[in-house]
Structure 1
Amino acid sequence: MGLQVGDKIPNFSAKDNDGNDFESASIIGKKPVVFYFYPKDNTPGCTAQACSFRDKYEDFKDLGAEVIGISSDSIASHEKFIQRYKLPFILLSDSDKKIRNLFGVKPNLFGLLPGRVTYVVDKNGIIQLVFDSLVATNHIPRALEIIKKLV
């Protein structure tokens, strides 16, 4: 059983797309955050999802929220993905799947694909939405709707 609505986000650390250390404690408790787990950089669904978050990023920022993408891709892969699609938000490398396991994100499609799950967290670090859908672009309006209710 993974993290659910009402649970507090646990502390975790990872390398970001620039190779810097990211600590969840640096953002949790300070502002609302959208953490979205996705299968793989540069695949059609994941690119559509990332670009949809990119296109709505200013809406999230205007509401005081941050967007952070997480996949098992390498730092180098994330950097190329960000540059290619001009993504304005952080991507975290979870190559050992520790964060995915910490959140309890399950694989999809008979275990063939890493799961695609979005978590919306309020400024106190409490999960307000867990949205699990293979349809990549459905995540963005749902996340934005919850963030709007939080502010």
Structure 2
Amino acid sequence: MKRVFLFLFFVSNSLIAQSNLPSSASDISPLLIGENVPNLSLKDTNGKSVNFSDLISSKKTILVFYRGGWCPYCNTHLSALAETELQLIAQGYQIVAISPDSPKSLMETQTKEKLNYTLLSDSDGEFAKAFGIAFQAPENYGKYLKKSSENLNTELYIPVPSLFILNQSGTIIFEYISPDYKQRITNDLLLSVVKSL
């Protein structure tokens, strides 16, 4: 009897844990300006583990979360960022873009969009969840996410497209978050913000 109880307890706790993700993009609770970002490791396009704190310790960082290489709005935004990368570098910044895509899919996006900046894989969603911008993927999104996700045993999630500006200590000094995935920050606004910080 004890074993049955423990099993039921475990199953019910698992179900509760899986339902912790917001059900829609408008229900997220992101980190705020002034808060510090989590120190986690992600994988680069070669599948190599990268410690995020080490990555941002030498330069201020434009951190972008995007839904994946399957999303045309994301690809347009990634390409737009590439157009302004040199101006951002001149201001002392680096660009880092993160998605649920596997390292292989990241490499395909990097090649297709001709990106020179860093792309990182958050296939299990731990980084996006820590930022408070992950939500449950609608059922019809599974066909996109299963192709690109590295760990198919985790709950499928989507990050709300977001842009954070971080200092070298990992403190958020600006953020742009829009639950409407079609709306992204413009290069003009981004450059204006960077110059004012």
TM-score, normalised to structure 1's length? Answer: 0.87
The structure with higher relative contact order (CA 8 Å, sep 6+) is: 1
The RMSD of aligned alpha carbons is: 2.2
Corresponding residue to 2:164 among 119, 125, 134: 119
Corresponding residue to 1:43 among 53, 65, 71: 71
The structural deviation recorded for 1:114 is 3.2
Q: Which amino acid aligns with 1:48?
A: T
Which region of structure 1 is more displaced relative to structure 2, 4-13 or 130-139?
130-139
Residue 53 (1) aligns with residue 100 (2)? no
Q: Verify the 8 A CA contact 1:17 1:79 in the aligned structure 2.
A: yes
Q: What SS does the aligned partner of 1:52 have?
A: helix
The structural deviation recorded for 1:2 is 2.5
Q: Structure 1 139/97 Cα, relative in aligned 2: closer, same or farther at 3 Å?
A: farther
Which region of structure 1 is more displaced relative to structure 2, 46-55 or 22-31?
22-31
Residue 83 (1) aligns with residue 111 (2)? yes
Q: Verify the 8 A CA contact 2:53 2:170 in the aligned structure 1.
A: no
Give the equivalent residue in structure 1 for 2:44.
Answer: 16
Which region of structure 1 is more displaced relative to structure 2, 105-114 or 13-22?
105-114
Distance of 1:71 and 1:139 partners within structure 2: 20
Distance of 2:171 and 2:186 partners within structure 1: 18
Q: Structure 1 57/115 Cα, relative in aligned 2: closer, same or farther at 3 Å?
A: same
Q: Structure 1 13/88 Cα, relative in aligned 2: closer, same or farther at 3 Å?
A: same
Distance of 1:96 and 1:102 partners within structure 2: 12
Q: Which amino acid aligns with 1:17?
A: T
Q: Structure 1 74/139 Cα, relative in aligned 2: closer, same or farther at 3 Å?
A: farther
Unaligned runs of 5+ in 1: none
Q: Verify the 8 A CA contact 2:176 2:185 in the aligned structure 1.
A: no
Q: Which runs of 4+ in 1 moved over 4 A?
A: 108-113
TM-score, normalised to structure 2's length? Answer: 0.68
The structural deviation recorded for 1:85 is 1.2
Q: Which has the larger radius of gyration?
A: 2
Q: Which has the higher helix share?
A: 2
Q: Structure 1 35/144 Cα, relative in aligned 2: closer, same or farther at 3 Å?
A: same
Distance of 1:145 and 1:110 partners within structure 2: 35
Unaligned runs of 5+ in 2: 1-28, 142-157
Q: Structure 1 110/77 Cα, relative in aligned 2: closer, same or farther at 3 Å?
A: closer
Give the equivalent residue in structure 2 for 1:148.
Answer: 195
Q: Structure 1 147/114 Cα, relative in aligned 2: closer, same or farther at 3 Å?
A: same
The structural deviation recorded for 1:17 is 1.2
Corresponding residue to 1:132 among 170, 177, 190: 177
